[in-house]
Structure 1
Amino acid sequence: MLVSNGGLFLIALVLALWTGAAIWALVTGLQMRRAAGTARRQLRRLTRLIDSGPAIPLIVRSDSRIEGPERVARWLGLEKLPPYLAELSQAARGLDREALDLLGQKITTAQKSGAPFAMAVTAAGSNRRLRIEGRLADPQTIAPGAVLLWFYDATESETRMAALVEAEAEAKRAFDALSGLIEAAPIPMWFRRPPMSSRPGRSWSRPSMGSRRSRSPRVRSRAIRPRAARSPRRSRARGARWRWSICRSRGAASRAMPSTCTT
């Protein structure tokens, strides 16, 4: 059977097109394989990065199904991550029922309004404090209506916060005790404010009219100055007047010298 030249040309053209298509498919397959290998390595790198990071993501879909790494289950004290949100609370494991109910309410609110939220929970049977931050997930990456939760291990920060709160309360109690001591002191006690302006206690800052205290706040305030700021002559003269007033109050018969008065 003889084939004309036109038939041979058509057969050669078909074989050439077939060979070209095979070569294109081979090159495209190799490129796709290379891209798939790169994506697989990047996915593995991102997975390891998330596993070693300080926060763990958890996806809660609209039907209460959850998706996330097993690290979340370990933080909550569970053997494995359950398929539904309601199963995160188990007997002496996972989250408390009250905390889980509150979390469910916040997730429902976020699905309806899109408002983010944050809350702190404690894993049952452990001292681990977890901080949960949730917001509506991007519908381009996750199904619409899903909420993305981020779990943070806030045990150390919560412990420090509790210590700071206790230290603040102790400082307030000490300040109140010191203020009470200043107010109840029988002599005027002065303290300095941040602008370095002195202020006496309330019992000496508001004396009653006509009393001896209202006429001598300046003398009393000078009496508590450091002795190094006074001159020897003024100190002796003031001491003499003070002893003379004592002698006079005791009813001395004559104006004896201060040195002859028995104090």
Structure 2
Amino acid sequence: MADVGDGLTLRLTLTKALRALPRRQREAVVLHYLAGLKHLEIADVLGISSGSVARHVHRGLAALRAQLDELAPGAAQVTQHIIKGGIVRVTTLPEAARLKGTDQLVTARVTGRVGGTALYTVDIGMPAVLKLPGRPGGEPASEELIGQEVECVVVEVDEEEQRVLVASVPSGPEEELYRRRTAFISALRPGEVLQGTVISVVPFGAFVDIGDSVYGLLHVSELGSVDHPQEALDVGQGVRVEVLDTSPVLERVSLRLAEAA
């Protein structure tokens, strides 16, 4: 076989490897690395979430490198300067801060649950906290994920508190629900008044269903002089709430009780 450094041989080998990829992986890799599109642009072209784009790119690259090594041993190393990516490990807060808001996937090994919340403790190369998409904050995390590895992205870094928050990337039917929820939250504006239903009451407040499976937090500090939110709210109760702040990527909505109409 000709030397893999030969340009023509390398291009033919790369083309053959690309053709062997599943369609979605091939499209994502080609649009990103050959067409130069960003993940958000690819998401618009393919009609999927940017998180799914990141997953398809990662898996496509892994399969592509394997194909290259099989077709021409050493070719994967030769093309490293052209094709980069994959899932990374994060070991420091500055590294996490650089990845915040990007579509770079990180590997999170689930190590436990955070109290009675919907959050998990994970190891991404350093301790972090994992949020799953669409789970109400008052719904306790199950033990099923403990010990498993999850593909996620860095969404929040608090250097003062030495805390990193990561979110898993939705897939399958959950992907469309995630897109709907984030679109719903993106359209909300501070001061907007909504009618909602209390779905859970926890020591620090209550979670309110405000539509499209979006759950906002009504913090206890917004409930007046009460020792526990249960003194003011009941599960199933309808409430008028006002939007204080939102974070679509975290699927987070902060609420307060709206003044009487």
TM-score by structure 1 length? 0.21
Name the one with the larger strand percent.
2
Computing the radius of gyration from Cα coordinates, the structure with the larger value is 1
Name the one with the larger helix percent.
1
**Greater relative CO, 1 or 2 (CA 8 Å, sep 6+):** 2
TM-score by structure 2 length? 0.21
